[in-house]
Amino acid sequence: MRAPRDGTRHVVVVGAGPAGLSATRAAVQQGARVTLLDASHQTGGQYWRHRDTPTPTPAEQRLQHQWRVHEVLRDLARTHPRVELRTGAQVWAAEQHDDGPRLHVLVGDVDGHGRTHLSLAPHAVVLATGAHDRTLPFPGWDLPGVVTAGAAQALAKGDGVAVGRRVLVAGAGPFLLPVAATLAEVGATVVGVHEASRPAGLVRGWLPRPWRLAASPGKAVELAGYVAGHVRHRIPYRTGEAVVAAHGSDRVQAVTVARIDERWAPVPGSGRRVEVDAVCVSHGFTPRLEVAIALGASISSSRFVAVDGDQATSAENIYAAGELTGIGGVDAALAEGWVAGHVAAGGDRSDRSLRRAVSRRRASADVTSRIEAAHGIRPGWTAWLRDDTLVCRCEEVTVGRLRTAVEVTGSSDPVSVKLTSRAGLGICQGRVCGRVVSELLGSSSPMQARPVVTPVRLGDLAATPPFAAPGVPQAPGAAEPATAPAPAPLGPPGPPHSPDHDHARARAPHSATTERTHP
Ligand X SMILES: Cc1cc2nc3c(=O)[nH]c(=O)nc-3n(C[C@H](O)[C@H](O)[C@H](O)COP(=O)(O)OP(=O)(O)OC[C@H]3O[C@@H](n4cnc5c(N)ncnc54)[C@H](O)[C@@H]3O)c2cc1C
Beta strands in 337-454 (DSSP E): 390-392, 397-398
Q: Considering beta carbons, is residue 91 or 260 the nearer one to another protein?
A: 91
Of 113-121, 325-333, 350-358, 412-420, which part binds ligand X (CB under 6 A)? 325-333
Q: Residue 38 binds which one of another protein, ligand X, none, with CB within 5 to 8 A depending on kind?
A: ligand X
- The least CB distance from residue 194 to another protein, in Å, is 19
Rule CB under 6 A: say whether 19 interacts with ligand X: yes
- The least CB distance from residue 259 to another protein, in Å, is 26
- The least CB distance from residue 160 to ligand X, in Å, is 14
Q: Tell me which of 3, 28, 36, 37 binds ligand X, using CB under 6 A.
A: 37
Summarize as ranges the residues that interact with another protein (CB under 8 A): 39-41, 46, 51-53, 109-113, 132-133, 142, 144-148, 150-155, 158-161, 163, 250-251, 288, 393-396, 426-428, 431-432, 455, 457, 516, 518-519
Distances (CA, A) of 134 to 181, 211, 281, 285, 373: 20, 30, 9, 5, 17
Rule CB under 6 A: say whether 333 interacts with ligand X: yes
- The least CB distance from residue 164 to another protein, in Å, is 8
Of 146-154, 258-266, 355-363, 444-452, which part binds ligand X (CB under 6 A)? 146-154
8 Å CB contact between 87 and 80: no
**What mask, x for binding ligand X by CB under 6 A, covers residues 174 to 193?**
----x---------------
8 Å CB contact between 346 and 9: yes
- Distance (Å, whole) CA 445 – CA 442: 9
What are the φ and ψ backbone dihedral angles of 210, each rounded to 5 degrees? -60, -25
Which positions ≥6 away from 359 have C-beta within 8 Å? none
Rule CB under 6 A: say whether 424 interacts with ligand X: no
Q: Residue 14 binds which one of another protein, ligand X, none, with CB within 5 to 8 A depending on kind?
A: ligand X
Strands 124-127 and 254-259: unpaired
- Distance (Å, whole) CA 185 – CA 272: 27
Q: How far from chain centre, in Å, is Cα 350? A: 29
Q: Residue 492 binds which one of ligand X, another protein, none, with CB within 5 to 8 A depending on kind?
A: none
Q: Residue 418 binds which one of another protein, ligand X, none, with CB within 5 to 8 A depending on kind?
A: none
Rule CB under 6 A: say whether 35 interacts with ligand X: no
- Distance (Å, whole) CA 191 – CA 386: 26
- Residue closest to 493 by CA, chosen among 477, 508, 506: 477
Q: Tell me which of 3, 39, 213, 363 binds ligand X, using CB under 6 A.
A: 39
Q: Considering beta carbons, is residue 40 or 317 the nearer one to ligand X?
A: 40
Rule CB under 6 A: say whether 437 interacts with ligand X: no
Rule CB under 6 A: say whether 288 interacts with ligand X: yes
Q: Considering beta carbons, is residue 111 or 396 the nearer one to ligand X?
A: 111
- Residue closest to 118 by CA, chosen among 90, 95, 83: 90
According to CB under 6 A, which residues from 104 to 133 bind ligand X? Answer: 128-133
8 Å CB contact between 127 and 297: yes
One-letter-per-residue 3-state SS of 482-498: CCCCCCCCCCCCCCCCC
Q: Residue 432 binds which one of ligand X, another protein, none, with CB within 5 to 8 A depending on kind?
A: another protein
Q: Considering beta carbons, is residue 14 or 432 the nearer one to another protein?
A: 432
- The least CB distance from residue 35 to ligand X, in Å, is 11
Q: Residue 507 binds which one of another protein, ligand X, none, with CB within 5 to 8 A depending on kind?
A: none
Rule CB under 6 A: say whether 150 interacts with ligand X: yes
According to CB under 6 A, which residues from 439 to 468 bind ligand X? Answer: 453-454
Hey, CA dihedral for 258, 264, 265, 267, is it positive or negative? negative
**Residue 71 neighbours by CB distance under 10 Å:** 13
Rule CB under 6 A: say whether 341 interacts with ligand X: no
Show the CA angle centred on residue 286, arms to residues 214 and 416, nearest 5°.
Answer: 155
Q: Considering beta carbons, is residue 70 or 259 the nearer one to ligand X?
A: 70
- Distance (Å, whole) CA 159 – CA 179: 15
Rule CB under 6 A: say whether 229 interacts with ligand X: no
Please give the size of the binding site for ligand X, defined by CB under 6 A. 36
Beta strands in 50-205 (DSSP E): 83-87, 89-97, 100-107, 116-120, 124-127, 131-133, 146-148, 166-171, 189-195
Report helix, strand or coil for 433.
coil
* Residue 160: DSSP 8-state: -
8 Å CB contact between 473 and 492: yes
8 Å CB contact between 377 and 136: yes
Residue type, 172: A
Rule CB under 6 A: say whether 93 interacts with ligand X: no
Q: Interface with ligand X by CB under 6 A: which residues?
A: 14-20, 37-40, 45-47, 89-91, 128-133, 150, 153-154, 178, 288, 291, 322-323, 329-330, 333, 453-454
